Chains A and B, each alone.
Chain A
Amino acid sequence: DSGVTQTPKHLITATGQRVTLRCSPRSGDLSVYWYQQSLDQGLQFLIQYYNGEERAKGNILERFSAQQFPDLHSELNLSSLELGDSALYFCASSVEVYRETQYFGPGTRLLVL
Chain B
Amino acid sequence: GESVGLHLPTLSVQEGDNSIINCAYSNSASDYFIWYKQESGKGPQFIIDIRSNMDKRQGQRVTVLLNKTVKHLSLQIAATQPGDSAVYFCAENNFGNEKLTFGTGTRLTIIP
Distance in angstroms from A55 CB to nearest chain B CB is 6
Task: Assess whether A97 is in contact with B98, with CB atoms less than 8 Å apart.
Answer: yes
- For chain A, the bracket of interface size reads 20 to 34
Could you tell me which B residues sit within 8 Å of A by CB distance?
31-32, 34, 36, 42-46, 49, 51, 89, 93, 95-96, 98-105
Task: Assess whether B104 is in contact with A41, with CB atoms less than 8 Å apart.
Answer: yes
Task: Assess whether B95 is in contact with A98, with CB atoms less than 8 Å apart.
Answer: yes
> In the docked arrangement, what's the CA distance between A39 and B100, Å?
20
Taking chain A's interface residues, is the majority helix, strand, or loop, or is none over half, making it mixed? loop
Task: Assess whether A45 is in contact with B99, with CB atoms less than 8 Å apart.
Answer: yes
Subset of 19 A-B contacts with CB under 8 Å: A2-B45, A33-B99, A45-B99, A45-B101, A56-B99, A58-B99, A90-B43, A90-B44, A98-B96, A98-B98, A99-B51, A99-B95, A101-B49, A104-B43, A104-B44, A104-B45, A106-B42, A106-B43, A107-B43
Is A11 an interface residue when CB atoms closer than 8 A count as contact? no
Q: Which residues of B contact A2 (CB under 8 A)?
A: 43, 45-46
Q: Which residues of B contact A55 (CB under 8 A)?
A: 98
